[in-house]
Chain A
Amino acid sequence: DTGVSQNPRHKITKRGQNVTFRCDPISEHNRLYWYRQTLGQGPEFLTYFQNEAQLEKSRLLSDRFSAERPKGSFSTLEIQRTEQGDSAMYLCASSFLGGEQFFGPGTRLTVL
């Protein structure tokens, strides 16, 4: 399958724990995006990479969130000291230059 993949698909954690999600984009795509989506809302932009460079972080992204794309291929999103308000679907998307974005299936995070 050459689509965008995300792991894990589901994560349940206790408040205060750290979690890390992984995204593998489509191989020839140089742009990678992270979004967060809560029930009944559209995806909200979190951050964006072009190759390995992180070019923008949303104001929504607190200091507890960090994302990396070390070799310009896969990316990780880490949330430290999780809070119940972090519960959401975390979506990764990739694209080549501009236009259409290809989304992964998402990681659903539940913070107890």
Chain B
Amino acid sequence: SQKIEQNSEALNIQEGKTATLTCNYTNYSPAYLQWYRQDPGRGPVFLLLIRENEKEKRKERLKVTFDTTLKQSLFHITASQPADSATYLCALDEESGGYNKLIFGAGTRLAVHP
């Protein structure tokens, strides 16, 4: 069956360290993968999109990698800050190259401590 897995346990790190979140998927062949941030009681906010032919993408302190062989994406936040504390969701398109019907993972909660 199709599945997207993110670490269900919260990730606790110290301010200034790099946070690394993992997204693994099975039985999909997505054309791209997206990462969203979600704060409690709010809708998700788009962060980054990486395409299947891209290995790595960066935006400010954020970096995403996409390994279609391993069926895995890693999401890094460098020089983390308490304001980065949130739940981070990965999402991929169910139908490669389709109209971007997104399938989301359950998310990983990140807590950055001062």
- B104 and A103 contact, CB distance less than 8 A: no
Main secondary structure of the interface of A (DSSP, over half): strand
Residue B106 CB within 8 A of the other chain: yes
Least CB distance from B102 to A in Å reads 7
- B100 and A95 contact, CB distance less than 8 A: yes
Residue of B nearest to A6 (CB): B43
Of A44, A55, A99, most B-chain CB atoms within 10 Å: A99
- B44 and A48 contact, CB distance less than 8 A: no
Given known A-B contacts A40-B106, A41-B106, A42-B106, A48 and B101 have beta carbons under 8 A apart: yes
Least CB distance from B86 to A in Å reads 13
Least CB distance from B30 to A in Å reads 12
- 14 inter-chain pairs at a CB distance below 8 angstroms, sorted by A residue, are A40-B106, A42-B105, A42-B107, A43-B44, A44-B104, A45-B94, A45-B103, A99-B32, A101-B46, A102-B46, A103-B36, A103-B43, A103-B45, A104-B43
Spell out B's residues near A (CB within 8 Å): 4, 32, 34, 36, 41-46, 49, 89, 91, 94, 99-107
Please name the 8 residue pairs, one residue from A and one from B, whose CB atoms are nearest each other, closest first: A42-B104, A103-B43, A100-B46, A98-B100, A103-B44, A43-B104, A42-B106, A42-B89
Spell out A's residues near B (CB within 8 Å): 4, 31, 33, 35, 40-45, 48, 50, 55-56, 91, 93, 95, 98-106, 108
